[in-house]
Amino acid sequence: MKILLTNDDGYQAEGIWALQEALKPLGDIYMVAPLTEQSGTGHCMTVHDPLRVKQLSETVFAVNGYPTDCVKIALENILPWRPDLVVSGINHGANLGTDILYSGTASAALEGFINGIPSLAVSLVSGTEFGYAAQFTTSFCQKWSKRQFLPHIMFNINIPAGAQKDIKGYRFTEQGVRLYENAFEKRTDPRGGSYYWLCGTPKPLLNSENSDITAVQEQYVSITPIQFNLTNRDILNFLQKTQSTS
């Protein structure tokens, strides 16, 4: 396999190096990741400033931009081949429910997906024990490569914290809902001015048994198939039927 590896925590993050080491037996890997941490940047891309690429080794590159920039420039200017798979992660922290919309990790995988390349976004819910997460991701890639990833597939994978023995297995799940309370803390700087720090905690919402949030809470790895087409098909069909009968 030919694999493009990226993330939103930056090229120096422990998770991406653990994943690179685990994926090595699968084939050729290029790492193209942000120069600095870009968590929570969603699908941002650099438009008004130049992108600079720092080559750190034959197959490792750091980009002074967002995760989306990394995938775009890798596909168009850096890689010597078109990858069979884009893997984004391992993120330090969960990307569950509606947080997917804000996640740089998920957005990097989504950019590969938009370009017709099967893609994975991988996150460790908490802690820094990336070994099992990297091992699980590698096994998942091996299993699904035998089924020949369909071009338009993206999986968002969240791995519970804890040792391998504490994890019960994996579930294929749907995206849940995650909202926050007390999202901003108001503080005062040394000159008496006010500023705000994003630091909210998730609200205790009721999610379905089939949600990614419930799976992780019950110590299962959550694997959610994601699509980028936001069209509400049910409403569209209803409106088209209404239009045709009016």
User: Residue ranges of the domains in the chain?
Assistant: 2-177+206-245
Q: Tokens representing 114?
A: 């938009």
Structure confidence at residue 148 (pLDDT): 63
State how far the Cα of 70 lies from the Cα of 61, in Å rounded to an integer.
Answer: 9
Q: CB atoms < 10 A from the CB of 107, how many?
A: 26
- SS3 for 190-238, per residue? CCCCEEEEECCEECCCCCCCCEHHHHHHCCEEEEEEECCCCCCHHHHHH
pLDDT at 93 over 90: yes
Measure CA 64 to chain center. Answer: 19
Summarised one tens digit per residue, pLDDT across range 188-201 is 999 999 999 888 78
pLDDT at 71 over 70: yes
Give the chain's mean pLDDT. 92
**What does the DSSP assignment read for 43-84?**
T----SS---EEE-SSSEEEESS-HHHHHHHIIIII-SS--S
For the ranges 59-68, 147-156, 207-216, the lowest mean pLDDT is seen at: 147-156
Structure confidence at residue 206 (pLDDT): 77
Topology of the domain covering 2-177+206-245: Stationary-phase Survival Protein Sure Homolog; Chain: A, (3.40.1210)
Structure confidence at residue 203 (pLDDT): 80
State how far the Cα of 159 lies from the Cα of 167, in Å rounded to an integer.
Answer: 9
pLDDT at 29 over 80: yes
pLDDT at 103 over 90: yes
Mean pLDDT of 120-146: 91
Structure confidence at residue 166 (pLDDT): 86
Q: How confident is the model at residue 149 (pLDDT cuts 50, 70, 90)?
A: low
The more confidently predicted of residues 224 and 181 is 224
